[in-house]
Structure 1
Amino acid sequence: TTTLRLIAGLEAPDAGSIWLDGRRVAGNGAWVAPDARRVGMVFQDGALFPHLTVAQNIAFPLNTRNGRGRVEDLLALVGMPGYGERFPHQLSGGQQQRVALARALAPQPSVVLLDEPFSRLDAALRASLREEVRAIVKQTGATTVFVTHDQEEALSIADRVVVMFDGEVAQTGTPQEVYTRPATRAIATFVGEANLLRGEANGLMAECALGRMILATPAHGPVDIMVRPEAIELRAVRDGAARIERIRYFGHDQAIQLCLRDGSQVDVRSLPRPDLTTGQQVDLFVRGVVVAYPR
């Protein structure tokens, strides 16, 4: 949130510079007011004016004669034609956020900032609305900075993901890069579920309780090997390398907790398998390459 407020001009940086469209807007003696930055912002709660209609909310940042036509175009863009005369209290949470997005897009900004706009919505609505918002901002061509604590949301909606810890950028990359090759242990466990297993590495090979594995990048000596739960396949056998401790069923998949022979715990994600039961012995197989972190 602080990062978004700095970009929008609602906060001033203590040091450094902020550039938008090749222009310095803050830092080194420069300061461009928020209303002159061509930045639109959608807040967590939408922040609509309760005493204004939907059309008046959207038109608020406009000062042109073509404002009415622009409002109608934006209502159509966000899938709400005909809602212009309603008031915010007459809308659902998802509709309010669509109106907030339309208002942010009204002055045709070069950058749109979204501060956890779906956090107060239920899971089903959040999933559908984020796809709609992605399509809408793609259509406008505006660069969008989207802040969220929902890792799945970040991976599904973004072209590039930036992971921040304590106000600093820890890693940046495509969703695939951040998920499959997290730069640190902290990122590995923050972005999705992860098993960290002690092992020994020698170049592109490593050995741990799950056997020999191929590493994404070379490493040597004692390491922690990161294996995603969905990368592990199970095979039921009489005298396996692990025992099933617990199975949690979620409908679309299931989470399986295993205990290895050395006592360490491993989590597995798989499609529902009625052939697996608690207490059963299984062997484990890891698909693809894994990431190792020096210990």
Structure 2
Amino acid sequence: ARALAPAPDLLLLDEPFANLDASLRSTVRAELLDILKLAGATVIMVTHDREEALGSADHLMVMSSGRMIQSGRPREVYERPVTLEVAELLGDGNVLPCTVRDERADSILGSFAAPGVEDGACRMFVRSEHLRQCSSGEITVRVTAASFFGHDALASLELTDGACLSMRQFEETLPEPGDEIRISINGPVAFFPPA
């Protein structure tokens, strides 16, 4: 392809890094993106890898069943998803029922501002990394499992009503299964209509 179009204005890439092993994938992706930026080429890249999409894009478009659901800058789409499907496609999170009244959402995790959200039942979405372990946290949970991944850790939590949450943390201390800990929410919360 490069012999036919040595300096393309537009390049279409379909899962270009899918068959590379994980350590090579990030290196090749970074090098290719640097080359393409220097060349000033516009690139449309299709990927099912959310980290690849978020880390590579200047502008992100999320599609499902052949239709565009949301587009924008990666951070904007990640932090303000317009549907629960977009929220879940782009990262781990927790979905809990809540009730909205007068732009306040009440859930087992507490009460939250819900500007523009209609009164009634809805679903609240909190990203796993927005749950934080802290001694002053208002929510008490029991740790049911914990996995260490090197760069972060994922803990499975159980609320007093039996509901389960996942908490991704980047601190050095990792709670142990069986521990009772206190958590708080440190990040945006999104609201979606009931299923």
After TM superposition, the score normalised by the length of structure 2 is 0.91
The C-alpha deviation readout for 1:235-257, integer Å capped at 9, x for no partner, is: 359x9621000000111110000
TM-superposed deviation, 1:204? 4.2
Alpha-carbon distance in 2 for matches of 1:267, 1:218: 27
Give unmatched runs, 5+ long, in structure 1.
1-40, 42-57, 62-103
- Select the structure of larger CA radius of gyration: 1
Q: Indicate which of 110, 134, 140 corresponds to 1:235.
A: 134
**1:189 equivalent in alignment to 2:88:** yes
Corresponding position of 2:192: 293
Give unmatched runs, 5+ long, in structure 2.
none
Alpha-carbon distance in 1 for matches of 2:173, 2:43: 44
Corresponding position of 2:123: 224
Question: What code does the residue aligned with 2:116 have?
Answer: P
Q: Indicate which of 105, 108, 114 corresponds to 1:209.
A: 108
Corresponding position of 2:78: 179
SS at match of 1:241: strand
Alpha-carbon distance in 1 for matches of 2:29, 2:92: 22
The C-alpha deviation readout for 1:155-202, integer Å capped at 9, x for no partner, is: 000011111111111111110121111111111111111111111123
TM-superposed deviation, 1:273? 4.0
Alpha-carbon distance in 2 for matches of 1:191, 1:204: 26
Question: What code does the residue aligned with 1:244 have?
Answer: V
Corresponding position of 2:58: 159
Corresponding position of 1:265: 164
After TM superposition, the score normalised by the length of structure 1 is 0.61
Alpha-carbon distance in 1 for matches of 2:193, 2:50: 25
Alpha-carbon distance in 2 for matches of 1:258, 1:273: 18
Question: What code does the residue aligned with 2:109 have?
Answer: L
The structure whose residues are more often strand, as a share, is 2
The change in CA–CA distance for 1:275 and 1:136 in structure 2 (over 3 A counts) is: closer
TM-superposed deviation, 1:205? 2.8
Q: RCO (CA 8 Å, sep 6+): is it higher in 1 or 2?
A: 2
How many aligned residue pairs are there?
A: 192
Alpha-carbon distance in 2 for matches of 1:274, 1:191: 26
User: 1:117-132 residue pairs with structure 2 within 5 A?
Assistant: 117-132=16-31
**1:111 equivalent in alignment to 2:10:** yes
Alpha-carbon distance in 2 for matches of 1:259, 1:129: 40
SS at match of 1:251: coil
The C-alpha deviation readout for 1:193-249, integer Å capped at 9, x for no partner, is: 11111111235431211112234x421221110100000111359x96210000001
The structure whose residues are more often helix, as a share, is 1
The answer on whether the counterparts of 2:33 and 2:56 sit within 8 Å (CA) in structure 1 is yes
Alpha-carbon distance in 1 for matches of 2:140, 2:167: 14
Alpha-carbon distance in 1 for matches of 2:41, 2:151: 35
